[in-house]
Structure formats: C-alpha cells, structure tokens
Amino acid sequence: MYPDPASRSASLFARACEVRPGGNTRLAVYQAPYPIFVAAAAGCRVTDVDGVERLDFINNQSALVHGHCFPPVMAAAAAQLQRGTCFSGPTDAEVALAENLQHRVPGFERMRFTNSGTEAVMLAVKAARAFTGRFKIAKCEGAYHGSYDFVEASRGSTPANWGDARRPARVPYSKGTPPAALDLSVVFPFNDVEAAAAILEAEKDTLAAVIVEPVANRPGMIPAEPGFLAFLRAFTQRAGIPLIFDEIISFRIGVAGAQAGYDLVPDMTTLGKLIGGGFPVGAVAGRADVMAVFDQRKGSPAVPHTGTFNANPVSMVAGLATLKAFGEAEVARINRMGEAVRAAIGERFARAGVEGQASGAGSLFRIHFTGARLTDYRSAYPTPAGQAAVSALHRALLNRGIIVSANCSGNLSTVVGDGEVERLLDAFSASLAEVRVPA
C-alpha cells in the first residue's frame, strides 16, 4: 500500500532530499509524501523498487506511444549504441526521421531538432521574432508550453488571480519572472473567438507569434472548436503573424497530428515526446521561408541554433522506429480504445450516481468530478472538493495497481489490450466507491 514509510521508495526519497532540493529534479513526477521510484518497465507494466507491478497509463507523460521497451525501438537504439552515441557531425538518422515527419504532415517543409519540447517552443519563438521583427507572444490562458518565461504567463492562474474571463490576467508562473517577459506576453482565452479577437486585434502590430495547442492539455485534452482555430488562422494570416501549433502531446492523435483534423496549416509546429521513442527530443517544423531564419548557407543565420546533443542519433533512430510502427491502423486502434475508455468512465460515473466525466481526444483522457461542459482552462479548473476527489481517486487507483497522473489524466499505448482496459475500468469503479465526492 502507498504510502509506506518502510518502503525502499520512501528511503530513496529521504536520500534524494539530501542531494537535491525537494529530493526532486522534475516536478511532474513528485507526489506527496514521496514519489514511487521505478526499477524497471516492459510493455504497459512498471515495477517499482519495492517489487510492486502496476499498469502504466502515463507512459512518461505520453512520450512512450508503444509502451516500455518496445522491441523495434530497443533494437534500433541498441544497434546505434554499438556505432556511437553522439558525434560532432550529422548522421543519416536525423535526415530519415525528418523525412518520415515531412511525409506525414503537409506543413512540415523544414525542421530542426532539439532535446526537449521546452527547447522546441523556445526555438519556435526565436524564429518567429526573427522572421517578424516583433517580440510579443500570445498564448492561451493556463496553457503549458514548457519551462520558458516567455510562454509561461497564466500557466498557474487561480480563481484568486485570474481576473476577467474575457481578458485573462498575465499571472507569472515562477517567482523571479522578469517583468519584461510578462510585458511581452499576451494571454487570451481558449475557445472564445470573440474575447480572443478583441485581445489579439489590439496587439496585432506587436505580436511575433500566436501559440496554441489544437487540443489543449491542461483542461484535459479539450479539442479546439474548429471555428476558434479558423479564426486564429485567418487573423494571423491577415496580420502576418506566424501561427505556432504546440503538438508536443497532441501529435499522437493522428498520423499527421491533431492538426490533420482541422482544415488549416499552421506556420510552425512544435513536437517532442513520442517522436524520440522514449529518448530526449524536441522539434520545430514549419514553412520553409520561416524556418530559413536558421539557414547558415549564405552566412551567419538570422537565428544561430546549435546544441551539443541536438539530433543525437539514439533519439533519432528510436523516434524513427516508433513512427514506422505508428501508422493509420495503430493510431485508429488506440484512438478507438481512448473513445471507449472515456465513454465507459462516463457510464460508470452515471451508474454510481456521481457527477463526473472523462474528457479527452484520441488516446488521451482525464477524469473530472464535474458534469459541466469543459471548454477551456477555467471550466476544467477543479473546485477544492473536486480536487480532493481527484487526489483520492489517484491514490485509490494507485493502490489497485493503476498509474495515472496526479490530476487523473492518462493515455493508452499501442501495447494495451482489452484486458488492461478492463482492469483500468474495474479499478476505477472500485476506487470511485471509496472516494468522498464533492457535494
């Protein structure tokens, strides 16, 4: 049972606290009173350092679309290890991965690789600034685009500080955020064309870019309404502002990402997670003329971009092996499973007489203790009682051998079958019976 003060995880965490602030180096994987340390994983099963095996519905924050130790990825990475791990020269692997992505998505005319999604967003922002000569970045309230000051405003907004829904406050996420970073941030509400239009029109001569997730992660993988993205595309096109889609999570929703579900093409797309097959990665892909800011062939580029581990061949071969095994059939199968899981959770809430739902798209889901229509950050923001129920559900699922993230969001990998889905749903029903639900 978790927590157990006598566990190896608890003692490892005590040791970790002596060498790292908070015993942690990645906030997302912390849980109180201590995180569960992992010993090994295979497929959709993770074994912790105390020998407890659980079903994994996080898959390292959705990065492992084929689960752990997927044989084609392991083989590609192992073969690359024999040839060397990183060189001060390019490899054919980075060309092959870029070609695979280019064949999938119409707007991926050129791309650059980084080591994380955060870096990919940072690079896209720099490209947009160099391309336009302007500096401000517009982003949706509550959206997470990585740990970068210029896209963090409002990421942790609360009812106490978020202000007017139609003109959200630019709340700093970290202490120490330079006022200049906030001054160069514009925040608009997701899925509200009228409010977004008023905010963006007033800033149109100052904006270097508008960044948006076509399917928003923070509220629970809520798809943008087609009219909202159509407005953003038309507005940015008219004003000459690059439109960036952050598909670092949502890319797994379609063979060509979530953007394939909308009849429009952004100027740049940021990628990460699954395209590295479980190794560190990020990428910016987009229009050739915008991406030309990185082109060094005619002298010093507008945006000089380098990085010791960019396009490291292990990530590249693992990413390629992942994508080669992630075609129409695999995407459709896990998306169908995702649809079924969301529907079944909704039915089980109803059967238990508890107000709740599972939101999401494709193979991604999040469980909420509200029946309200979820359209954006505010509508999905839990009440204190709703948050307590989510935390209790997370704990109850964990103790039934099911791993979802602390806010009860999860995703399905291609190695999950009907048996695992059944275990998830049975554990959900049993856990729900234990959770004190909001009045």
Ligand X SMILES: Cc1ncc(COP(=O)(O)O)c(C=O)c1O
Q: Residue from 272, 338, 362, 386 that binds ligand X (CB under 6 A)?
A: 272
Between 377 and 428, whose beta carbon lies closer to ligand X? Answer: 377
What is the Cα–Cα distance from 252 to 150, expressed in whole angstroms? 26
Tokens (6 digits) for 177? 């955020």
Do 31 and 20 contact (CB within 8 A), yes or no?
A: no
| Nearest residue to ligand X, by Cβ distance, number only | 117
Site for ligand X in 145-164 (CB under 6 A): 145-146
CB 144 to ligand X: min, Å: 5
| 248 counts as binding ligand X under rule CB under 6 A | yes
Residue 269 makes contact with ligand X by CB under 6 A: no
Number of residues that bind ligand X (CB under 6 A): 15
Tell me the C-alpha distance between 18 and 29, whole Å: 18
121 binds ligand X (CB under 6 A): yes
DSSP conformation letters of 292-348:
GGG--TTSS-SS----TTTT-HHHHHHHHHHHHT-SHHHHHHHHHHHHHHHHHHHHH
Window 188-217: contact mask with ligand X (x via CB under 6 A) = -------------------------x---x
Rounded to the nearest whole angstrom, what is the least distance from the CB of residue 118 to ligand X in the complex? Answer: 3
| CB-nearer residue toward ligand X: 66 or 218 | 218
- Residues 251 and 274 sit within 8 Å (Cβ to Cβ): yes
Helices (H) and strands (E) counted in the chain, each on its own, are 14, 16
Residue nearer to ligand X on the CB measure, 124 or 374:
124
Q: Could you give the string, one character per residue 276-305, with x where binding to ligand X holds by CB under 6 A and - elsewhere?
A: ------x-----------------------
Binding to ligand X (CB under 6 A): which residues in 380-439?
Answer: none
Beta bridge partners of 403: 56
Nearer to ligand X, 128 or 432 (CB): 128
Which residue's CB is nearer to ligand X, number 61 or number 91?
Answer: 61
Query: If you compute the radius of gyration of the chain from its CA atoms, what whole number of angstroms results?
Result: 22
Whose tokens are 């998306």? That residue is 335
Phi/psi of residue 38, nearest 5 degrees: -95, 140
**Amino acid (1-letter code) at residue 437:** V
**Of 11, 47, 102, 116, which lies in the binding site for ligand X, with binding defined by CB under 6 A?**
116
Q: How far apart are CA 282 and CA 292, in angstroms?
A: 18
Amino acid (1-letter code) at residue 125: V
Q: Which stretch binds ligand X (CB under 6 A): 3-11, 38-46, 113-121, 414-422?
A: 113-121
Binding mask 60-89 for ligand X (x = CB under 6 A): -x----------------------------
> Which tokens is 67 given?
């689960």
How far, in Å, CA of 268 to CA of 271, rounded?
Answer: 10
Residue of 123, 153, 196, 249 interacting with ligand X (CB under 6 A): 249
CB 98 within 8 A of CB 268: no
**What is the separation, in whole angstroms, between the first and last Cα of the chain?**
28
Per CB under 6 A, the segment of 13-21, 50-58, 242-250, 288-296 that binds ligand X is 242-250
By CB under 6 A, name the one of 118, 236, 259, 375 that touches ligand X.
118
- Residues of this chain that interact with ligand X (CB under 6 A) are 61, 116-118, 121, 144-146, 213, 217, 246, 248-249, 272, 282
